[in-house]
Structure 1
Amino acid sequence: MAIVKLAKDVADKIAAGEVVERPLSAVKELLENALDAGADSVIIEIRNGGKSYIRITDNGCGIEKEDLDLAFERHATSKIRTAEDLDSIGTLGFRGEALSSIAAVSRVEMITKTRTSQTGFRVVTEGGELLEKAETGAPDGTTIIVTDLFYNTPARLKFLKPDGTESALVIDFVSRMALAYPKVKIRLISNGSVLFSTPGKGDLYANILTVYGRNLAEHLIYVKEERDGMALEAYISAPELSKTTRRSQIFFVNGRSINSKLLEHALTDGYREKLAEGRYPAAFLFLSVDPSRLDVNIHPNKREVRFDQEGNVRAFVADAVRKALYTRYAVPEIRNLENAEGGRVKVQNTTAAERDALARTLADVKKNAINQKNSKNQFAGISSIEKGTQGALNVKELLLSKQAAEQKQVTPPPAARPAAAEAEKAATSPISKPEPTAPSAAKPVSAPAPEIPVVFEERPSYGSKNAAGAVNSADSKTSAAGVSAAAEAPKPRAFVPEALHVTGSIFATYITASDDEFFYLIDQHAAHERVFYETLLSGQKNQQKASQMLLTPFVVEVSPAVKSREDDWVPYLSTLSYTLEEFGPKSYAVKEIPAFMDMTEARNFIDMFLETLEEERDITDPKKLERIITASCKSAIKANDQLDLLEMKQLLQDLGKCENPFSCPHGRPVFLKLSRDEIEKLFKRR
């Protein structure tokens, strides 16, 4: 085939494919142009994820009349003049490809006016061809409207993601830019709804609060450091607030949002020994360096940069993060604290995400230790008031307290107070302890009991004349004294966890129980993990909706990206027995939760669900749900959660309904046993 020069429209479409990959690409280029134009107010509006409509309106410098035609030409720019300018780029854009690439694959309308012009101008193009140019009335600045993106490249349009996914990508990018430019008012509109509008007052923290919500903002630590011509300003999360992914790590270099493995590693270095493996901090890092020490001309999307001295940059960022963390978290690891009654409260050497003791002053930790003991959950079963709930009681606790009050004429506990102003007061208030109630009355059965599993118990091979007694109690009474254990084949024995005789617990972690043959240790945390996992998964798979209405709903905040996809995940949570109602622009009130959960379990699960939703675009896959449930095991009863006898018995009853009661979802054993024969041998009774 002969070599020919491609036609202009073909070449333009090929070039556009490198710059405009999806609606996000168009929004990115146009927003960066608006910021480069000196705008202090920008409105971004999209419809259908940006596929059908994108509008960027700014109050920047506008475009002169004589530059209008040139603005749509390839490699036409006002930002650089010579190759030497590439060595010190101070603007977000510089290639001169944005408008021409966008116009080549869409219909574009541009209205622009400079501050010195009497009138504005309107330009309309279609597929890169000029259709109209005329004077018009307009405010100072530029408005660009892009419609029918990829209308003339159906192959590209075909491979775009669903509207929700494309919207989420745009929202994520605009959210980042809102942080990078706190002095610019940025308003984001999607399908007619305002997702957020920043104040533009130059307050970075206010923008984080506006865009990402209070739950994250309240756990951030401010970092500011300068050294060797580099300046760092950042907000990083306290160690107790960690994530399962790096999605909440956002980096900027000279105002440009970037992806950087170097900065990821620097952040990890700074948090070393403060987070468990597989946990990541949230961070908003703003690094300023001399433009001559930075190469941004690596890729057309300008999301990657190179530093001339990467080792110095990594060390600088890591040192700044480490310094900020040590300044606030200089309290050494505490293993024992004196409580008000002179006892000892053990603090586990676990991750910061599992305990907030290290995130507070010593006085706060002592107060929490007292409150946790005073507010020990009395619900018969596996309900508990999780550490760090600031005194809020779960609904089952309230109902049980009311029932106990009617029966025993005791004063019921105060109602849970959602107001933040009363939360601290509630945390220090004494809580009336309800009388224990029969497990069957307090905890509904939410999953059908499977067939009792049959296991083969191995017999000890000591060769003792009474070793045969280890099979079962009946055998121990009828076995011949001289029969060896090896002489009999193992017999099937039905293992029924709920039939065990519960005797107590040790170390507030392991339940002790026995039957006629064995002494058992049951890990209460692993057992509750298994119950939690199978009950929720079984209810979802079998479409069995059993929920309980909350007296005081709790509120969850979501990011704009998650909010834009509410039609996908809100109905899905309904299949898990949750009921959510809109409670503000980025909040939902949770009014019903699964019947088998208490308040803390329900909150932990939904928080993990929403966190995973930030990373996964489709969360309805059963395998993904299993991963979420497994990860949410932190809502289970913990070691050092003191259970009363009724709660222990109820936990074993629930465990008996599980298909696999022998291990937690991570594979750790739930039961350990020691035979009566072995115990007697240890005491030299045989």
Structure 2
Amino acid sequence: MTIQILSDQLISQIAAGEVVERPASVVKELLENALDAGASNIHILVNSGGRKLISVSDDGSGIAAHEVELAFTRHATSKLQSIDDLMRIMTLGFRGEALSSIAAVSQVQVITRARGEDVGTQMKIDGGCVKQHQPVGAPVGTVIRVENLFFNTPARLKFLKSENTEKKQITTLVTRYAMAYPTVRFVLEQDGREVFRSNGKGQLADVLIKILGLNNFRQMIDVFAEDRALEGRPAVRVSGFCSLPEFHRADRTNITLFVNGRWIQDTKLTYAVIQAYRGMLNEGRFPVAVLLIDIAPEEVDVNVHPTKAEVRFRDPQAVFSVVQRGVREALVKTTIPSQDFNSQTHFVFPQHSSDFSSTLIDNTPLPYVTDTQDQGLEDLSHIPEGLGAPQKPRTLPPLRLVGQIGATYIIAEGPAGMYLIDQHAAHQRILYEQYMADYLNQTISQQEFSGTQMFEVPVKQLKQLENRLGTLETLGFKLSLFGTTTFRIEAVPALISQLNPIDLMPHILNVLDQANVEDRIIQLVCEFAAVKSGQVLNQDAMQSIIRQLERCQSPQIAPDGKPTLIHMSGEQLAREFNKR
């Protein structure tokens, strides 16, 4: 077979394969053009999952009459003049490939009118060939209709998914742009039915309420973090929303990231969000998050992938750090609204038969404590202010102590049934949130040792410990080398000052080579300091655990992901006793 130069039409169809993968790809390119044109209102109309019709109308700046045909020519763009422009690009599109690629594999009609022009322009293109080009009356803006997608490349049609799948792809795409551009009003119609509408009033919260529903949005909290530009490091700002730990999903697809208004897929930044929830979610569960990252355009390369869904940061660690810190701080700072629970009219407690007398449990209702000072249990650390002033309603209500069973579980009653609380796991959660907050705020209290506390370090772990001495000091541990493989403990976190730290050190040595070593050490310290299973607690001690657990950010999950409590509603109890 002889070598031949491909025809322009075939070249366009091949190039279209990189840009136009499916109907949602067409919607994406047309939406980005509308946004780059400064549109305030965008209307998307789709039939048959985009196979038969995709129409995008906008009130943007429009296309000048003499540039309409040029706009559908390959590599024609108004976004770039030189390579320097590419390094600081702020528009969504810039390659000049989208319109020509779409036109090469469909039948397109465009009606547009630029600001300052009295008459609009209509042009029809069939498989890349211009069939009609004429003036027409039209408002300022652009309407592009794409019909019979892939009509001239039937092999491409075979690779499309079902109509419902393509519809879902388009809906997901439009809602992403609505999140990134809350000042723009988006309307999406599919097969004559409106499936999404944003109000364009500029509030991301309004968009998320439409997407998630009001009840789910109430489980979202604000995220904001900022790093100013320093020598060698870029300025980075992160804003948006993330879910409370109680609101989670089975996969990570609900973590949505934008960079300078562009939706991106970035496994490292997604991991940063997930790591911020470490100790708050069970394994296999993932948060919901919508985060908008703003960074100078020269600090990010968007010209990495044909779909521009992947980007490359000049300093990825700086961005990773701000994202993780922003989410983590939002979670730590979220607190419970103050309420008056002194009145017993808030709850209905079961009436106990006068024929039954318990010598083990005092069934007299106890007052609900709202003071910041807890009673009893001196070894329970007080949850600091800042964790105690929540912004969102929580899933754990105030509880009434009933008693203890097996010296391991605390029995409590709430407005919706019975709670069995694992005293060790619950105390771990309380201590973990306090310790983590102190670590993030750099306010960990240390207790120095006046005596001698020595421990031996295995040779294979010696280098790891030496490399982590600085990390340990930020967590409240002060160690010094005292011989070849012997270390002296000079200070420990005040949290464990009454315990023997020698018993803890082997466990710490075993996690020094792990990722997120700070979090792992915090977990170990809290497990070490927490009250133990099998430990009999007096009434004041149990009440103190309950009161502090109520104020925790994630009261239902221990730092290691295990549950802290089991809840049985009144209905569940009734079913167990065959009363329903």
The answer to whether residue 47 in structure 2 is matched with residue 47 in structure 1 is yes
Give yes or no for the alignment of 1:160 onto 2:191: no
Distance verdict in 2 for CA 1:643–1:127, change over 3 Å: closer
Task: Determine if contact 2:122/2:135 at 8 Å carries over to the other structure.
Answer: yes
1:38 is the counterpart of 2:38: yes
1:378-393 to structure 2, matched below 5 A, reads: none
What is residue 367 of structure 1 aligned with on the other side?
Answer: 398
1:422-461 paired onto structure 2 within 5 Å? none
Match of 2:199 in 1: 199
* Corresponding letter in the other structure for 1:53: L
The answer to whether the aligner puts 1:280 opposite 2:286 as a matched pair is: yes
Distance 2:103 2:392 in 1: 58
Alignment partner, residue 22 of structure 1: 22
Give the drift of 1:330.
Answer: 9.2
Which runs of 5 or more structure 2 residues have no equivalent in the other structure?
Answer: 230-234, 338-361, 370-387, 403-411, 422-532, 534-562
Give the superposed CA RMSD: 3.4
Q: Deviations 1:17-47 (Å, cap 9, x if unpaired)?
A: 1110100110000000000011111111111
User: 1:256 and 1:179 mapped to 2: Cα distance?
Assistant: 10
Number of residue equivalences: 382
2:89 aligned with 1:65, yes or no? no
**1:548-581, Cα deviation, whole Å (9 max, x unpaired):** xxxxxxxxxxxxxxxxxxxxxxxxxxxxxxxxxx
Q: 1:358 to 1:144 in 2, by over 3 A?
A: same
Please state whether the residue corresponding to 1:135 is helix, strand or coil: strand
CA separation of 1:296 and 1:344: change in aligned 2, threshold 3 A: same
Name the TM-score, length of structure 2 as normaliser: 0.61
CA 1:644–1:305: 2 relative to 1, 3 Å? closer
Corresponding residue number in structure 2 for 1:304: 310
Which stretches of structure 1, 4 residues or more, deviate above 3 A after TM superposition? 342-345, 357-377, 384-387, 637-651
Report the CA distance shift for 1:341/1:22 in structure 2 as closer, same or farther (over 3 A). Answer: same
Identical-residue share of aligned pairs (%): 40
Write out aligned runs for 1:114-263 (5 A). Answer: 114-227=114-227, 228=229, 229-263=235-269
Closer/same/farther in 2, CA of residues 215 and 369 from structure 1, 3 Å limit: farther
Q: Does 1:328 align with 2:348?
A: no
The amino acid across from 1:161 in the alignment is K
Q: 2:365 matched to 1:341?
A: yes
Q: State the shift of 1:70 in Å.
A: 0.8
Could you tell me whether the CA contact under 8 Å between 1:298 and 1:305 is conserved in 2?
yes
Distance in 1 of aligned mates of 2:364 and 2:395: 13
Give the aligned residue type for 2:288: A
CA positional deviation for 1:7: 1.1
Amino acid at match of 2:73: E
Structure 1 327/192 Cα, relative in aligned 2: closer, same or farther at 3 Å?
Answer: same
2: distance between equivalents of 1:31 and 1:246? Answer: 25
CA change 1:365–1:103 in 2 (3 A) is: closer
2: CA distance, partners of 1:11 / 1:189 = 33
* 2:87 match: secondary structure: helix
CA distance in 2, matches of 1:12, 1:198: 35
Seen in structure 2, the aligned counterparts of structure 1 residues 644 and 284 have a Cα distance that, compared at 3 Å, is closer
Distance in 2 between residues matched to 1:207 and 1:214, nearest whole Å? 11
**Higher relative helix content:** 1
CA contact (8 A) 2:223 2:330 kept: yes
Deviation (angstroms), 1:279: 1.1
Q: Deviations over 1:507-556 (max 9, x none)?
A: 9xxxxxxxxxxxxxxxxxxxxxxxxxxxxxxxxxxxxxxxxxxxxxxxxx
Alignment-derived partner of residue 9 in structure 2 = 9
Pair 1:297–1:650, CA change in 2 (3 A) = same
| Residue 317 (str. 1) matches residue 323 (str. 2) | yes
**How far 1:650 moved relative to its partner?**
5.4
Distance of 1:187 and 1:210 partners within structure 2 = 12
Residue pair 1:234, 1:284 contacting (<8 A) in 2 also? yes
Identify the residue that residue 623 of structure 1 maps to in structure 2. none
* Aligned residues of 2:365 and 2:400 also touching (Cα < 8 A): no
Relative to 1, partners in 2 of residues 1:369 and 1:139: Cα closer, same or farther, differing over 3 Å? farther
2:105 is matched with 105
The 8 Å contact of residues 375 and 385 in structure 1, kept in 2 or not, is answered as: no
1:311 Cα deviation after fit: 1.2
Instruction: Give the CA deviation at 1:363.
Output: 11
CA 1:646 to 1:294, structure 2 compared with 1: closer, same or farther past 3 Å? closer
What is the rounded CA distance, in whole Å, between the counterparts of 1:67 and 1:361 in structure 2? 53
Alignment of 1:458-469 (within 5 A): none
Cα displacement string for residues 611-664 of structure 1 (whole angstroms, at most 9, x for unaligned residues): xxxxxxxxxxxxxxxxxxxxxxx9xx956668999855759xxxxxxxxxxxxx
* 1:234 CA drift (Å): 1.4
- Per-residue CA deviations over 1:179-216 (Å, capped at 9, x if unaligned) read 10011111111111111211111111111112321122
> C-alpha separation between the residues in 1 aligned to 2:363 and 2:35?
56
Q: How does 1:483-498 map to 2 (within 5 A)?
A: none
**Counterparts in 2 of 1:340 and 1:280: CA distance versus 1, 3 Å:** farther
> Shift of the alpha carbon at 1:365?
4.7
CA distance in 2, matches of 1:362, 1:646: 27
Instruction: Report if the CA contact (8 A) 2:276-2:325 is conserved.
Output: yes
**1: CA distance, partners of 2:5 / 2:389:** 68
Q: CA 1:339–1:18 in structure 2 vs 1: closer, same or farther (change >3 Å)? A: farther
Helix, strand or coil: the match of 1:285?
A: strand
Instruction: Give me the whole-angstrom Cα distance separating, in 1, the residues matched to 2:414 and 2:302.
Output: 58
Using the alignment, how far apart are the partners of 1:211 and 1:172 within structure 2? Answer: 10
Task: Return the alpha-carbon distance in structure 1 between the equivalents of residues 148 and 574 of structure 2.
Answer: 65
Counterpart in 2 of 1:408?
none
Pick the aligned partner of 1:264 from 267, 270, 294: 270
Preserved contact between residue 225 and residue 325 of structure 2 (Cα < 8 Å): no
* Change beyond 3 A, Cα 1:13–1:326: same
Confirm or deny: 8 A CA contact 2:334 2:391 kept in the other structure: no
Cross-structure match for 1:517: none
The 3-state SS of whatever aligns with 2:118 is coil
- Partner Cα separation in structure 2 for residue 363 and residue 171 of structure 1: 31
Q: Could you say what secondary structure the match of 1:116 adopts?
A: coil
1:62-89 deviation digits (Å, cap 9, x = unpaired)? 1111111211110000000112211111
Q: 1:314, 1:172 → 2: CA distance? A: 25
Distance (Å, rounded) in 2 between the aligned partners of 1:169 and 1:96 = 24
Q: Is the 8 A contact 1:107 1:147 kept in 2?
A: yes
In 1, distance between residues paired with 2:336 and 2:413?
26
SS of the equivalent of 1:88 reads: coil
* Aligned residues of 1:57 and 1:144 also touching (Cα < 8 A): yes
User: Which AA in structure 2 matches 1:267?
Assistant: V
SS class of match (1:251): strand
Residue number among 292, 299, 313 corresponding to 1:293 in the alignment: 299
| SS at structure 2 position matched to 1:367 | coil
Aligned to 1:592: none
Q: Provide the C-alpha distance between the structure 2 equivalents of 1:58 and 1:152, rounded to a whole number of angstroms.
A: 28
**Per-residue deviation at 1:376?**
6.7
Contact 2:366 2:400 in 1 (8 A): no
Relative to the length of structure 1, the TM-score reads 0.52
Deviations 1:133-178 (A, max 9, x none): 1111101000000000000000001121111000100100100000
Q: Distance in 2 between matches of 1:312 and 1:339?
A: 56
Q: Distance in 1 between matches of 2:9 and 2:51?
A: 21
Structure 1 gap segments, 5+ residues each: 332-337, 346-356, 378-383, 388-506, 508-633, 652-686
Please, which moves more after superposition, 314-323 or 18-27? 314-323
The aligned amino acid for 1:252 is F
